[in-house]
Structures are given as structure tokens and as C-alpha cells.
Amino acid sequence: MEIKLQQDILAANDKIAADLRKIFEDKGIFVINLMASPGAGKTSFILRIIEILKDELNIAVIEGDIASKVDAEKVREHGVAAIQINTGGACHLDANMIRGALDMLDLDLLDIIIIENVGNLVCPVEFDLGENVRVVISSIPEGDDKPLKYPRIFVESEVLILNKIDLLDCSDFNLGEFKSIISGLNPSVNFFEVSCKLVEGVDVWVSWLQKQIYEAQKTKSGGV
């Protein structure tokens, strides 16, 4: 009975996600579903993207948290629209939550939406949000065995960001072992080593992102 309930929930979610994906495609909006455990640096990563791209692209952020609006306020301080979703205990965002948040955004003006999912490496990967790309952030302090403990999120993400690379030399993190594990789980993943604190490697990621956004804008109804 529990299995059927879960199947029904996911089927309903996938239907809404498909509708969202069509909306995003028609409007040429590139959507990122950003996932990570608490403390990996999701918000800092988003702020670096905003700093680099806000004069070039129209950006909005949807913040998912169990409670509080701290992260959304940080984003707004950078001059970018931010919609806060408090899940009230749920460990993930779902497509229906995203659909509700879109009512507060002018989609005709946007080039990119960044969805900061709830800090969790298990539940968020279950729910399609209509995104173009799933990005998972791991960080040096979390250890090099994180992908072995939570393999699915690393298997199903198109991009892996290894954050806090500036801490590598003062930790026992084995970068070679980490890369070997990732290669076994998801050999086609786009892998970026960054330090949001020192802004190292972020430009490489942003260059990749700009290309993806350009391709998404080609699908916009009526062309660009």
C-alpha cells in the first residue's frame, strides 16, 4: 500500500513537472535544480553566479528550506528576485511547490531560475521539478566517500560541483579516490572543482552554464 501511494505521488509530481518544463522551454528559461547537504555551500555558490551574471542575464532564485527566509534575503540583497518556499518539515521541494512560486515571478523577463533545494542528499532527487539540469554540490569537509553513501543523487545529476577546494591541502580528502568513485557511478557527469570563498574555478563553471543558457534560449517561442 505504501509503495502504491509513493507511485501515485511521483506520477502526479511528474505530470506537473512536465507542464513546467514546457513552460520553461517556451519562454527560453534555463532552470537549475541545485541539491546538496547542509553546509556544502549552495547559497554561496548561487551568490557567486549572481555576482558574475546579473548584469548579463535576468536571474531569479527559488529558495527551499524547512523554515526561515535567511537565504532568500541574502539573494535579494544582491538585487535578484527570490521566492522563499518553507516546506514546514518536508525534506524536499516538489513540482507543485515550484508551480506556486512561479505565480510570483514575471517569466517573460527571466533567462535563468536557480532552485535551491532543501539541504538533503536523499529525498530531493526523487522529485522532478521541470529543470534543465540537476546540479549536486559536494564539499571537501564532507569527505571523499559521500558518493558511496548517497549514490543515487550523484548518478542522476548532470553536474557535480566539488566546493571548498581551497581546503584540500589541510584535509585528508583524497581527490583521486573521489574522482574514481564518481567515474564509476556517473562517468559522463560534468565535474567542476571550485572555491566559492576564493572564487576559484567558478568562471569555468559559469562559462559552461552560459553555453547551456544560450541553447535553452533557442527554444523560446518565436525565436530570440
Which has the higher per-residue pLDDT, 220 or 52?
Answer: 52
Per-residue pLDDT tens digits for 166-207? 999 999 999 999 999 999 999 999 999 999 999 999 999 999
Question: Which strand ranges, in their side-by-side order, compose the sheet holding 190-193?
Answer: 81-86, 59-65, 112-116, 30-36, 133-139, 159-163, 190-193
Burial 58-95 (b: 16+ CB within 10 A, else e): bbbbbbbbeeeeebbebbeeeebbbbbbbbeeeebbbb
HEC assignment per residue over the chain: CHHHHHHHHHHHHHHHHHHHHHHHHHHCCEEEEEEECCCCCHHHHHHHHHHHHCCCCCEEEEEEECCCCHHHHHHHCCCCEEEEEECCCCCCCCHHHHHHHHCCCCHHHCCEEEEECCCCCCCHHHCCCCCCEEEEEEEHHHCCCHHHHCHHHHHCCCEEEEECHHHHHHCCCCHHHHHHHHHHHCCCCEEEECECCCCECHHHHHHHHHHHHHHHHCCCCCCC
Options 3.40.50.300, 3.40.50.720, 1.10.3720.10, 3.30.365.10; which CATH number does 2-217 get? Answer: 3.40.50.300
How is the chain split into domains, by residue range? 2-217
- Better pLDDT: 25 or 8: 25
Q: What confidence score (pLDDT) does residue 148 get?
A: 97
For the cut 90, the answer to whether the pLDDT of residue 80 exceeds it is: yes
Percent of the chain with pLDDT over 70: 95
Would you state the pLDDT for residue 181?
Answer: 98
**Rounded mean pLDDT, 44-67:** 94
Q: Are strands 59-65 and 112-116 parallel, antiparallel or unpaired?
A: parallel
Q: Could you report the per-residue pLDDT of 105-164, keeping only the tens digit for each? A: 999 999 999 999 999 999 999 999 999 999 999 999 999 999 999 999 999 999 999 999
